[in-house]
Structure 1
Amino acid sequence: MQYTGGDIKRLGKRLRDSKGKHISDEDLDLLQAHRLSFTEPLFRVFKDLTQHKTRVERSAIIAFRLKRISTIINKTIRKPKMQLNRMWDVAGIRIIFNNEAAVRKMLSNIRDNYEVRGEIRDRFNNPKKIGYRAIHVYITEPESGKVIEVQLRTRETHNWATLVEITDVLYGTRLKEEGYDSNEEWGKFHQLVSSNRELEEDEANFLYKTLDKHDFISRLADTFRNNTSTVKKQWQNVHHKDKYFLIELSSDSVPKLSSYSDYEKAETDYFKAYKEDEGALIVLTSINKPSFEQISIAYANYILSYHKFIKDVQEILKELAVEKLENHNFKEFRKIFRLYEDIQANNIINILIERDDVTVKIEGELLRLESQSKISTKKRKEIKKQINAGIRGLINKHVYFMNEVNGVSKTLPIWALQTKSFLNKHEKRVDKRLKSIELKFDKN
Structure 2
Amino acid sequence: MPFVEPGGYSRGELDRVGNRIREGVAGSEDLRILDNWRASHLYVLNTFQASLRTRRSRFDVGEQITIAQRLKRRPTIIDKLNREAGMSLSRMHDIAGCRIIFPNLNSLDRFRTSVLNSRAAHELLGDQNRYNYIVSPKPSGYRGIHDVYKYNVGSTGGVRWNGLRLEIQYRTYIQHAWATAVEISDIVNATRLKFSEANNDITRLFLLCSEILSRYHEGVNGYCGNLAARDLIFEYKNIESRIHAISRLRGLTSSAFQKFARSSKLFILVNYTSTEKEGHFEAESFPDNASAAVRYSELELRLEGIADVVLVGSSQQDAIKLAYTNYFSDASGFISALDQAVEGLS
TM class by shorter chain equals 0.7 to 0.9
Is it true that 1:245 corresponds to 2:267 in the alignment?
Answer: yes
Is it true that 1:256 corresponds to 2:277 in the alignment?
Answer: no
C-alpha distance in structure 1 between counterparts of 2:269 and 2:243, whole Å:
27
C-alpha contact 1:137 1:151 (8 A) present in aligned 2: yes
Is it true that 1:24 corresponds to 2:27 in the alignment?
Answer: yes
Q: Which residue of 3, 8, 18 corresponds with 2:14?
A: 8
Deviation readout 1:380-400 (Å, 9 max, x if unpaired) = xxxxxxxxxxxxxxxxxxxxx
C-alpha contact 2:183 2:326 (8 A) present in aligned 1: yes
Q: Which amino acid aligns with 1:42?
A: L
**Residues 76 and 66 of structure 1, relative CA distance in 2, 3 Å threshold:** same
Q: Which amino acid aligns with 1:311?
A: S
Q: Which amino acid aligns with 1:128?
A: K
Q: Secondary structure at the match of 1:285?
A: strand
- Paired residues for 1:21-170 under 5 Å: 23-56=26-59, 58-113=63-118, 114=120, 115-120=123-128, 121-143=131-153, 144-170=162-188
Deviation readout 1:53-107 (Å, 9 max, x if unpaired) = 3323642100111111111111111111122111111111111111112222222
C-alpha distance in structure 2 between counterparts of 1:105 and 1:127, whole Å:
20
In structure 2, the residue matched to 1:176 is 194
- Paired residues for 1:413-432 under 5 Å: none
C-alpha distance in structure 2 between counterparts of 1:312 and 1:105, whole Å:
24
Q: Secondary structure at the match of 1:127?
A: coil
Is it true that 1:287 corresponds to 2:296 in the alignment?
Answer: no
C-alpha distance in structure 1 between counterparts of 2:240 and 2:58, whole Å:
41
1:40 Cα deviation (Å)? 1.2
Is it true that 1:305 corresponds to 2:330 in the alignment?
Answer: yes
C-alpha contact 1:56 1:105 (8 A) present in aligned 2: no
C-alpha distance in structure 2 between counterparts of 1:98 and 1:59, whole Å:
6
**Residues 210 and 257 of structure 1, relative CA distance in 2, 3 Å threshold:** farther
Q: Secondary structure at the match of 2:191?
A: coil
Pick the structure with greater CA Rg: 1
C-alpha distance in structure 2 between counterparts of 1:319 and 1:266, whole Å:
45
C-alpha distance in structure 1 between counterparts of 2:84 and 2:331, whole Å:
33
Q: Secondary structure at the match of 1:308?
A: helix
Is it true that 1:223 corresponds to 2:245 in the alignment?
Answer: no
C-alpha contact 2:185 2:249 (8 A) present in aligned 1: no
C-alpha contact 2:270 2:282 (8 A) present in aligned 1: yes
Deviation readout 1:338-372 (Å, 9 max, x if unpaired) = xxxxxxxxxxxxxxxxxxxxxxxxxxxxxxxxxxx
- Overall identity of the aligned pairs, in %: 30
Listed as ranges, the gaps of 5+ residues in structure 2 are 1-6, 154-161, 217-227
C-alpha contact 1:296 1:305 (8 A) present in aligned 2: no
Q: Which amino acid aligns with 1:243?
A: K
Q: Which amino acid aligns with 2:177?
A: N
Q: Which amino acid aligns with 2:308?
A: L
1:155 Cα deviation (Å)? 0.7
Q: Secondary structure at the match of 2:252?
A: helix
Q: Comparing both chains, which one has the higher relative contact order based on Cα–Cα distances under 8 Å and sequence gaps of 6 or more? A: 2
1:316 Cα deviation (Å)? 5.5
Residues paired across the two proteins, number = 307
1:36 Cα deviation (Å)? 1.3
Q: Secondary structure at the match of 1:122?
A: coil
Q: Which amino acid aligns with 1:284?
A: L
Q: Which amino acid aligns with 1:249?
A: N
- Paired residues for 1:301-340 under 5 Å: 301-315=326-340, 318=343
1:260 Cα deviation (Å)? 2.3
C-alpha distance in structure 2 between counterparts of 1:223 and 1:314, whole Å:
15
**Residues 222 and 160 of structure 1, relative CA distance in 2, 3 Å threshold:** closer
C-alpha contact 1:296 1:306 (8 A) present in aligned 2: no
C-alpha contact 2:68 2:320 (8 A) present in aligned 1: no
1:268 Cα deviation (Å)? 2.1
Q: Which stretch of the first structure deviates more once superposed, 214-223 or 265-274?
A: 214-223
C-alpha contact 2:250 2:332 (8 A) present in aligned 1: no
C-alpha contact 1:165 1:176 (8 A) present in aligned 2: yes
Q: Which has the larger helix fraction? A: 1
C-alpha distance in structure 1 between counterparts of 2:242 and 2:70, whole Å:
36
C-alpha contact 1:208 1:317 (8 A) present in aligned 2: no
**Residues 88 and 305 of structure 1, relative CA distance in 2, 3 Å threshold:** closer
C-alpha distance in structure 2 between counterparts of 1:91 and 1:164, whole Å:
21
C-alpha distance in structure 2 between counterparts of 1:82 and 1:319, whole Å:
43
Listed as ranges, the gaps of 5+ residues in structure 1 are 324-444
Is it true that 1:277 corresponds to 2:303 in the alignment?
Answer: yes
1:261 Cα deviation (Å)? 2.4
1:27 Cα deviation (Å)? 1.7
Deviation readout 1:120-140 (Å, 9 max, x if unpaired) = 311110000011111111123
C-alpha contact 2:67 2:99 (8 A) present in aligned 1: yes
Q: Which amino acid aligns with 1:204?
A: I
C-alpha distance in structure 2 between counterparts of 1:302 and 1:174, whole Å:
16
